[in-house]
Chains A and B, each alone.
Chain A
């Protein structure tokens, strides 16, 4: 979660490794906050009133876990973590879209809010915006050996703080 993100910069300066530098750190930080918020909320919901809205609360917990993994994957270096980041962030985008639509058309299924209800309304729509920014940013910073991907991000862009 957030502490692991905060520790990253104190590592020896192997710049190309971590994606948590420059504007990416803002992304990581926002993800950390979302992970904290979603985790705190879902622990509270499941611990005190799971029976009231099992679908919504189970979903909150799932969202929380995905946010935690995404935060870690954004900080952790290497191609494998890069893929984990892409998968978890894409999952979030799908999650917020599907749950957003469902919560509007089938409110019975979600009697209580989750992070993703109404496209993340309870969280200033950040859950809707951040995966898009995340995916865009991941495309820019994609590991250089795969750098020939369609839009071809320039390798020298990777470590700099350009946003």
Chain B
């Protein structure tokens, strides 16, 4: 993990989440903006997957449990596609709320992954 990158990722996911939540509660159905920011969150997660595979080979080793880290990362990466798919199937404002919930969850999970990688002692 790269601390700067994961910090940016947490910030993006949190902002995306708040945006989708407020638009959703305001009655907006999923649109290019809300689906777009959710897609961005997913792309960053996939980038995180690549970073986390490469990192140990260049000496950037997790201090905590690698298994726990990957459970979080894989789960997090599954959420936006599920939420996005559901948003496309049933287009109402609650789908936008779900996109928001998803992005917030991702922010929390990346925060936790960050702790496992840098803080937790295995």
**Number of cross-chain contacts by CB at 8 Å:** 55
CA distance A32 to B79 in the complex (A): 10
In the docked arrangement, what's the CA distance between A40 and B71, Å?
Answer: 6
Of A3, A22, A30, A40, the residue contacting B101 (CB under 8 A) is A30
Cα–Cα distance between A9 and B91 once the two chains are bound (Å)? 11
Question: Which candidate, B6-14, B30-38, B92-100, is the interface stretch facing chain A?
Answer: B92-100
Whether B94 lies near A22 (C-beta < 8 A) is yes
Instruction: Provide the residues of chain B in CB contact with A9, threshold 8 Å.
Output: 86, 89-90
The 4 closest A-B pairs by CB, nearest first: A9-B89, A40-B71, A9-B90, A29-B98
CB distance from A98 to the nearest CB of B (A): 25
* Contacting residues, chain B, for A43 (C-beta < 8 A): 71
Cβ–Cβ < 8 Å partners of B65 in chain A? 44, 48
| B67 contact from A21, A26, A48, Cβ within 8 A | A48
Smallest distance from the beta carbon of A37 to chain B beta carbons, Å?
7
CB-nearest residue of chain B relative to A33? B105
Number of A positions contacting B (CB below 8 A): 25
Q: Residues of A with Cβ closer than 8 Å to B?
A: 2-3, 6, 9-10, 21-23, 25-26, 29-30, 32-33, 36-37, 40-41, 43-44, 47-48, 124, 161, 163
- In the bound complex, do residue B95 and residue A25 qualify as a contact, i.e. CB atoms below 8 Å apart? yes
Residues in A with CB closer than 8 Å to B54 are none
Pick from A2, A22, A29, A40: contact of B92, CB below 8 A.
A22
